[in-house]
Structures are given as C-alpha cells and as structure tokens.
A and B are shown apart, each in its own frame.
Chain A
Amino acid sequence: MISLETKLPGLDLKNPIMPASGCFGFGREFSELYDLNKLGAVVIKAATLNPRYGNQTPRVAETAAGMLNSIGLQNPGVETICSEELPFLSQFKTPVIANVAGSTIEEYVAVAKRLDESGLIQALELNISCPNVKEGGVQFGKDPVLAAEVTAQVKETVALPVYVKLSPNTADIVQMAKAVEAGGADGLSMINTLTGMQIDLSSKKPLLANQTGGLSGPAIKPVAIRMVYEVRQHSGLPIIGMGGISAAEDVLEFLIAGASAVAVGTANIHDPFACVNIIDRLPQLLEKYGFQNVEEAIGGGNRNEANVSRS
C-alpha cells in the first residue's frame, strides 16, 4: 500500500496535494463539485487588512501553455475572512493555510495575528511575491533584508508555522530563501507567478487593463523546478512546490527536485477536478517509479549529492 502521507511543520497531510492560493477562492465553489476532505490541505486566497477591490478588468489572458492574471489581491479583508469564510472550511478534515499579503510590515503582522487568533487555520503563507499590486507585495520579495524582517516580525507575533512564498522575479532565489530562513521561516512556498505581458494586435495595447500580469501554468514549470532544486541544495527548510502542475507526473518531478508537498494553481481553472485526479493517480505513479511512499520520493533525485538536508 503506497502511503501519500507527508509531514510539514504544523501540517500532517494525508496527501501532498493542495490547491494554490488565488485559484480556489475560499473553497465554497469547489465544495459543490467534490468533497474537500480529499485534499491534503487548502490554501486560501490572499488576505489583506482591509477589503481590496483589485485591478481593472480584463484581468486574465491566455498564453501558450499558461495564462496571465492581474487580479490584484481582491479579497474581502481579514475580518470577513475570519468570520465568514474560515468557519465554512473548518467543517472539513483538511488543514487550511492562509495566504497573507500587505503593503507594510505592520499590515502583514496585523493580518497574520488576526488569522492566528481565529484558531481556524493550521499555517500561514506570507505572500511577499504578488506582482500585481503597486505598493508592497513584490518589493518584499525582491529585497532579502525586507523579506527577512517581515518574516521575523510575523514569527514574533504568531504561534502558527510560517511559510514564506517566494517570487521567481528575482536574480538570486537562493539568497532570498536563505534570508527568510534566517528570519525564522518554518518553510517555503515556491514559486509565485512570473511577470509577463501580452499585446492585443487589434488595439495595439496590452491585453490586461493592468498592462502586466503574473504568468502561471505549464509554461513556468521548468523555472519552478529549477528554483526548487537550487534552493533545496542550500536551505534546510521544507518546500511546498508549485508552478505549472497539472498531472501526477509533475508532482513527482517537484518531489524529486526537493519539494515536500505541492500546490496546484492554474490547472484548477482549466479543469476543476485537477487536484482530485492527481491525488487518485499519484500512488500508481509512485509505484511505477519505484517509490514506496511520498516521503521516499522527496529529494529522490539528488539523494547522494552533498549539501542536501532532508527535513
């Protein structure tokens, strides 16, 4: 019997598959399609201190093997999320990870604190990497000093484990990982979307009202795998890997590259059953490639190399 269980700080996962933040709302819509108990965990849409309307529409565009989005962290604000959305998710036996965003360190801390106090989530994911908001977000994801600082201040305030979601829009991903590790992060989520643009030939203008957006989907998978693999060589933090996963094969690739669990984003938009289909197929695939369980597959591709610390 192939076991899909995997352990991460604060998270005992029955399988390593979770929907990625922003591609699953707060779970209500998907709960009409399947039983959310099937998922390893749920990562909710970003929470900010106040409600955010987000960017002008159009906010999504299709690309080769992917999409661009410029949603702009639309959400009803942390208070409403805690009072109206999280109680719904708590009826499922599936851990919830809350994605936290802010414009200032104080905002990150305040949002994290409120979520921590709710008692309704099992971990925090600091989104220091959203490319779609002008102030905040991405500046934390590009500056290792700021990234370490926001991590440290959130860690000081909350009891929950803190995962930091890294941006691929940086020259040195390893440096960013080391910075947040020094700041006290319990784990890493990687990667967020890559900044991109598409031009509409008939109007000769960018297709998205916001001009640029975040590229996601299969197109970014090789970048994500490379980054997970590189970071795995230099950091002991467990990694939740993501970027272009749409099949069980992709999951196995991330595990071998060094991720301990994965998040599936854009694939849910193409096929709302993507997560459950992957979960159903994973045991058979692990077996096919000679793994007894998920834990054994983690880092499987570089087990004999130096500098690999298993979590």
Chain B
Amino acid sequence: MMQTELIVLANEKIADQTIEMQLGLNSDNLGTEVQKFVPGQFLHVKVGEADTTMLRRPISIADVDGNGNITIIFKISGRGTDMLSKQTAGSRIDALLPCGTGYPVDNLNLDTALLIGGGIGVPPLYYLGKTLAARGTRIISILGFQKADHVFYKEKFAELGESIIVTDDGSYGEKGFVTDCLKEMDIDFDCFFSCGPTPMLQAVTNKLTGRHGYISVEQRMGCGIGACYACVVPAKSGTGFKKICKDGPVFAANEVSL
C-alpha cells in the first residue's frame, strides 16, 4: 500500500448526483503497481484538510486501464463527496491505495458468475466483471437502482454479458429489488458476487444461503489501513471480528454477520 497523489484526468456526471472520475498516476513507475490492483479494493481519499474533513473517504476502484489510469464512480451524498465532485482535470488528489482485500479472482475458475449490485455498490462489480470476463467466465449481472435517472453503466455491463436492471419504482427496467429477480429467475451460476447497502446484502445472502459467494461490506472508516479498529464486523464463527478496511471489504458470504 502507498500514499500518493493522483491527477484528475476527467470528471463526468453519468447519472443523478453520480460522478465518474478518471485518475492518473503522478509517476510512470507506479503503472505496474496499478496493474496488480484487485477488484474490490478501494482508495482512501483525502478530500480536504483536517479542519473541514478529518476523515478520508473510501471509494472503490471501478476500473483500471492498461495505462494505469484508475476509474472511480461515486455518488454525491455529503460534504466529502461533494468536495471531491468539484475537482476538475489537473487537480491532485491524495489517496492511500490500494486498500483492503478484494475478490479472490486469481483463485477462482468459474464458468458463470452472478454479479448483484445496488446503487454505489455497482462500481467495484464492473472491474470484477471485466476481469472475470477476460478469463472466459460468463457474466450475468443484476443491478438495482432507485429510479431511472440513477442508472449508470448499463451499456458497459451489457458488454460483459446478460444484464438485468431493476429500479425500486419501476421507472427503468424491472420494478422491485434485486432479490425479487433472484426469486423469479432460475439462474444457473457457480459463484455470486454482491456489493451494495447492508440491507441488500442481508437479503441477498439470506436468499442464496449455502451458495458459493462473496460480498463487499461497507462501514464508516477511520484510518482505512487496519490500525484504528473503527470498521469492524463480527465474524460468523464464534466471537472474533474482521476489519473491513484490511480483511475486507470483500468477505466470503458466510464469513461475517451482517
């Protein structure tokens, strides 16, 4: 892990309150490092100074390209993400990266992967889907959003394989929650991967109990590197715990109690 300054290359609104930001490295030497980033890992971004925004913001890596440029997608939901959204091309952003343990893509040999994402949980699944697809895995994705103008990356996921979009109010795609789709469809898959708000992860893991799968868990963070114990989640076995920022954010579906 390292602390470095990333250069904002592009900043584009891709849905309601949703920003796609391209970040470049300030040194060519780091290019090879970035190629090692694992889907599911995140950046811990400094969005201001200690007198305004003391805590860094965790934002998932949504994509990495061959030049070592990193894409993040985030929703403006408070002061920090609002400040981040105002960074224009050329600005520099201090980030710790890559943080956390991602999806174990190197150890998975899958015929079919099911990606289940909700809202701002969708971005890391894109990098995951792209990585798995490149290895010949068939990708099926179910992506949930609140309503039509919140939907993003529908074409990009369609390029990876079959993709179903659901919205809470039915204003785009199917109406309902991602779990409603799981109920209705008899999808054949080897492994599922889910990222989204905790209630969604609870519903997904309940529905898919016993199936091989991985979830990405969110929690308010302090250090983002495993030193402050802010971001823990109880382990399912016994009394232990896991640190989301270091042991996660990705866990096997039966590893932690949500």
Binding site for B on A (CB under 8 A): 22-25, 28-30, 32-33, 45, 51, 53-54, 57-67, 69, 71, 74, 217-218, 246, 266-273
Contacts and interface: CB of A to CB of B under 8 A. Distances in A.
A299 B52 CA distance: 31
A23 B228 contact: yes
Nearest to A22: B228
Interface in B55-110: 55-56, 94, 96
A62 B225 CA distance: 18
Contacts of B225: 29-30, 32-33, 272
Nearest to A58: B220
Contacts of B94: 271
A163 B170 CA distance: 63
B122 to A, nearest CB: 23
A293 B54 CA distance: 32
A57 B54 contact: no
Contact of B54 (A29, A53, A217): A217
B26 interface: no
The B interface is mostly helix, strand or loop, or mixed, namely loop
Query: Which of the listed residues A53, A65, A272, A273 has the most CB atoms from chain B within 10 Å of its own CB?
Result: A272
A29 B227 contact: yes
Interface of B: 1-3, 46, 50-56, 94, 96, 219-223, 225-234, 239, 241, 246
A28 B229 CA distance: 13
B222 A218 contact: no
A58 B54 contact: no
Nearest to B96: A272
18 contacts: A23-B223, A23-B228, A25-B226, A53-B241, A54-B229, A54-B232, A57-B230, A59-B231, A60-B55, A65-B51, A65-B54, A67-B55, A67-B222, A71-B229, A74-B232, A74-B241, A269-B56, A270-B54
Contacts of A24: 227
A272 B230 contact: no
Contacts of B54: 62-63, 65-67, 217, 266, 269-270
B228 A57 contact: no
Given A25-B228, A33-B3, A272 B223 contact: yes
Nearest to B221: A60
Given A61-B220, A67-B222, A246-B50, A270 B228 contact: no
Contact of A74 (B56, B220, B229, B246): B229
A58 B219 contact: yes
A218 B50 contact: yes
Query: Closest 9 interchain pairs by CB?
Result: A25-B227, A58-B220, A60-B230, A29-B225, A65-B51, A74-B229, A29-B227, A29-B226, A60-B222
A120 to B, nearest CB: 19
Contacts of B228: 22-23, 25, 60, 69, 71, 269
Contacts of B226: 25, 28-29
Contact of A57 (B233, B239, B246): B233
B3 A59 contact: no
Contacts of A266: 50, 54
Given A57-B232, A57-B233, A272-B3, 18 more contacts: A23-B227, A23-B228, A25-B229, A29-B223, A29-B227, A57-B231, A58-B219, A60-B228, A60-B230, A66-B54, A67-B55, A69-B222, A266-B54, A269-B55, A269-B228, A270-B46, A270-B50, A270-B56
